[in-house]
């Protein structure tokens, strides 16, 4: 955590190395849409579909940010990379661990750091949902720390990866958590839909089930430590 300037500088230096190594997970041309180029402190809320998402965000923002990451399904080399560049570990099945991780996030934010957060809590491997349901912790933290949430949508199609950075969302204590989380989810889903429009018009019946299954298999094969059964228990059901 950036509790002092020295540790923060060390994470920034290590980030350059981690970013370089993480490029191995980016398969294709990265198309970045970051017109606002927001440079301030933020909680970056990102949709989650596969192992490439974190490297894509690193290359999209090109700055050191701390990653909220689950303790399960990590390769050793990736765990080391996270620790070098800055990570907050969380056991998603443990209320105590979730409490500790939010305390760490608050300290990071209050000392000037930014955090990457996947509010869906796991990979979205569904056929039809643009976004899974999201836990409210991210909007509660934004209000508590008085830090904006910057939504990011990532979409993979063929040989291209679309990464869109949206406008910052201001969350206050006056806004009900369910209203705030719905606003955030809608923001990311809308960007995702626009990315799909750019990729061409097609209907649901034109997409065969085997094509979707192949896409999922490729993602799972690339990261064999991903425990799908465990991850399915981490899907939030409101």
- Domains of the chain by residue range: 5-232
Pairing mode, if any, of strands 160-165 and 149-157?
antiparallel
| Predicted local confidence at residue 223, as pLDDT | 83
| Predicted local confidence at residue 168, as pLDDT | 98
**Which residues on neighbouring strands pair with residue 46, listed in sequence order?**
152
Residues of the chain with pLDDT under 70: 1-4, 73, 200-211, 238
pTM score, two decimals?
Answer: 0.89
The Cα–Cα gap between 220 and 47 comes to 17
| Predicted local confidence at residue 42, as pLDDT | 98
3 state SS of 236 = coil
Residue 205 is classified by DSSP as G
- pLDDT (tens digit, 9 = 90+) per residue, 118-138? 999 999 999 888 999 999 999
Residue (of 73, 61, 67, 53) closest to 192 by Cα position? 53
| Cβ–Cβ < 8 Å for 2, 108 | yes
Choose the CATH number for 5-232 among 3.40.50, 3.30.70, 1.10.3470, 3.40.1130.
3.40.1130
Q: What are the distances in angstroms from CA 208 to CA 132, 139, 157, 202, 233? A: 22, 37, 15, 12, 27
| Predicted local confidence at residue 3, as pLDDT | 54
The Cα–Cα gap between 53 and 86 comes to 16
């Amino acid at each position: 955590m950036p509790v002092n300037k020295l540790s923060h500088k060390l994470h920034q230096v290590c980030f350059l190395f981690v970013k370089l190594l993480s490029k191995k997970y980016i398969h294709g041309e990265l198309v970045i849409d970051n017109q606002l180029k927001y440079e301030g402190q933020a909680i970056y809320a990102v949709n989650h579909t596969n192992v490439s998402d974190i490297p894509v965000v690193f290359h999209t923002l090109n700055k050191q940010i701390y990653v909220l990451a689950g303790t399960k399904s990590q390769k050793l080399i990736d765990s080391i990379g996270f620790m070098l560049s800055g990570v907050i570990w969380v056991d998603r099945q443990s209320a105590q661990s979730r409490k500790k991780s939010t305390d760490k996030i608050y300290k990071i934010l209050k000392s000037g750091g930014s955090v990457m957060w996947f509010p869906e809590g796991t990979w979205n491997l569904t056929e039809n949902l643009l976004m899974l349901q999201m836990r409210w912790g991210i909007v509660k933290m934004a209000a508590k720390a008085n830090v904006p949430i910057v939504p990011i949508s990532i979409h993979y199609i063929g040989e291209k990866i679309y990464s869109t950075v949206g406008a910052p969302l201001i969350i206050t204590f006056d806004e009900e958590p369910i209203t705030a989380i719905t606003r955030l989810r809608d923001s990311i889903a809308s960007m995702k839909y626009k990315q799909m429009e750019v990729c061409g018009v097609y209907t649901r019946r034109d997409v065969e089930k085997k094509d979707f299954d192949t896409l999922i298999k490729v993602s799972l094969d690339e990261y064999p430590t991903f425990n799908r059964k465990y991850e399915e228990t981490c899907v939030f059901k409101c």
